[in-house]
Amino acid sequence: MTKRYVVLISGRGSNMEAILAVDLPGRCAAVISNRPHAAGLAFAAGRGVPTTVVDHKQHADRAAFDAALAAEIDRYEPDLVILAGFMRVLGDDFVRRYEGRMLNIHPSLLPSFPGLKTHEAALAAGVRVHGATVHFVTPSLDAGPIVVQAAVPVLAGDTPETLAARVLEQEHVIYPQAVCWFLEGRLRLTDGRVRLDGEKAAAGVLRVPTE
């Protein structure tokens, strides 16, 4: 049977756009946003993907929002939940509900620079290599098992904006690839460890899959 996935966004969702642009071995069942006016909703609708909103402002607390969001996700019975610029911290119970089938992408080479303003932090630290990480989501923020990483050089004269742009280009390569691996049945989480079958390196991208 064709596997189904749901994408969660809060804004434009450029990684969602990159995923939807690829011919994946699965179907996007829905794009869900916590913000009614997220630009990515129009893009998804234009691609014929069902869209819906679970507005966090309409719920009394995180637990209530998480419950409403989970109920909406479960309506689509997805095999995979994809966070693509979803700017809400999800509670532990929510994360455990989708354990082993929820992916996120973070704009740094984790475990370095978790959280926000990663490009500013990388420049302040003086690192020479920066990048992006696709990982399974766990209750610990930005600390889930790593699936794949892409590295870019930090250049003299870089600003957070120029560095972010180069990192984003690589995000748009490695995130669809990770999603593809999962939908093909090659990527899974077993006893807290990433398992990836039949990996081949992609030209132009430094990728470091976990065993």
Structural element, H or E, at residue 43: helix 39-46
* Extended beta strands in the chain, E state: 3-9, 26-33, 51-53, 80-83, 102-106, 129-136, 146-153, 187-190, 193-196
Mean pLDDT along residues 128-132: 96
Out of 37, 56, 59, 106, pick the active-site residue.
Answer: 106
* DSSP three-state, residue 193: strand
Q: HSE on the CB side for 28, CA within 13 Å? A: 26
In 10 A of CB 161, how many CB atoms? 8
pLDDT value of residue 198: 79
pTM for the full predicted model: 0.93
Structure confidence by residue, pLDDT tens digits, 53-112: 999 999 999 999 999 999 999 999 999 999 999 999 999 999 999 999 999 999 999 999
Structural tokens at position 71: 């109920």
Q: What are the structural domains of the chain?
A: 1-98 (3.40.50.170), 106-211 (3.40.50.170)
Whole-angstrom distance, CA of residue 57 vs CA of residue 194: 35
Biggest CA-to-CA distance, the chain? 50
Across the chain, mean pLDDT equals 94
| pLDDT at residue 161 is higher than 50 | yes
Q: What share of the chain has pLDDT > 70, as a percent?
A: 94
Residue 78's pLDDT is 98
> Is 172 part of the annotated catalytic residue set?
no
- Read off the pLDDT band of 180 (50, 70, 90): very high
Question: Residue 2, class by beta-carbon neighbours within 10 Å (0-12 exposed, 13-18 middle, 19+ buried)?
Answer: exposed
Burial 22-37 (b: 16+ CB within 10 A, else e): eebebebbbbbbbbee
